[in-house]
Amino acid sequence: MTPGIPDNMFLRGSVPMTKADVRALTICRARLAPNQTVWEVGAGTGSVTVEAALRVPGGRIYAVEEKAEAAALTAENCRLFGTHNVTVVHGRAPEALLGLPRPHRVMVGGSRGELAEIIRLCGRELLPGGVIVVNAIRPATLQLALDVLSLPPFGTPEGVLVQVSGLERLGDGYHFRAQNPVWIICAGREG
């Protein structure tokens, strides 16, 4: 129903995972809806894949992941959650995106140094009114996303810096354990 599945419900292996609250905000910023075609670049564990798949019944997620271990984990998590509208694409973006059906939404979780090329390709392939969301933990990724998403055909980029700290028991009380800061940057394709 609502995004933000608890982290411990996913199989994780040794692949880093987008944590529940940042994952929820990413899904929300992507404005997912039924029947959409969604490209996910850098699926990692597949936690975002699963959440996206649950939000687009009648649509399809193309989850691109270069690492074999992570691609397998994404497929496993989709089985675990029974999401049948996911196609895991084991390959490297942007090449692996060529030939996929044009998307309503693109979510970029990892880009292995190809972010500019990936965003430019999405600028051509995104359907009009479509939205791209980029998650960044490196300043260089943030800056590149802002640079390319500030150009046509994208509208004004929006985004947030998010710092989440999770409540944990400490002795007979609580404290907050910090997660690393994340930038979520999004832009619409105009026209």
If the CB atoms of residues 7 and 76 are measured against a second copy, the closer one turns out to be 7
If the CB atoms of residues 23 and 75 are measured against a second copy, the closer one turns out to be 23
**Shortest distance, position 11 Cβ to a second copy, whole Å:** 21
Spatial separation of the C-alpha atoms in residues 45 and 33, rounded to whole Å? 22
**Shortest distance, position 114 Cβ to a second copy, whole Å:** 14
Give the relative orientation of helices 47-55 and 68-81 as an angle to the nearest 10 degrees.
40
Spatial separation of the C-alpha atoms in residues 147 and 159, rounded to whole Å? 13
If the CB atoms of residues 49 and 75 are measured against a second copy, the closer one turns out to be 49
If the CB atoms of residues 2 and 87 are measured against a second copy, the closer one turns out to be 2
**Shortest distance, position 157 Cβ to a second copy, whole Å:** 7
Edge-to-edge strand ranges of the sheet holding 182-188: 86-90, 60-65, 37-41, 105-108, 131-136, 182-188
Which residue carries 């994404």 as its tokens? 74
Helix (H) or strand (E) holding 61: strand 60-65
If the CB atoms of residues 124 and 180 are measured against a second copy, the closer one turns out to be 180
**Shortest distance, position 98 Cβ to a second copy, whole Å:** 26
The DSSP 8-state label assigned to residue 67 in this structure reads S
| Cis omega (within 30 of 0) for bond into 157 | no
**Strand 131-136 to strand 105-108: parallel, antiparallel, or no bridges (unpaired)?**
parallel
Residues that bind a second copy (CB under 8 A): 1-4, 21, 24-25, 27-34, 55, 137-143, 146, 156-167, 169-170, 173-181, 185
**Shortest distance, position 152 Cβ to a second copy, whole Å:** 17
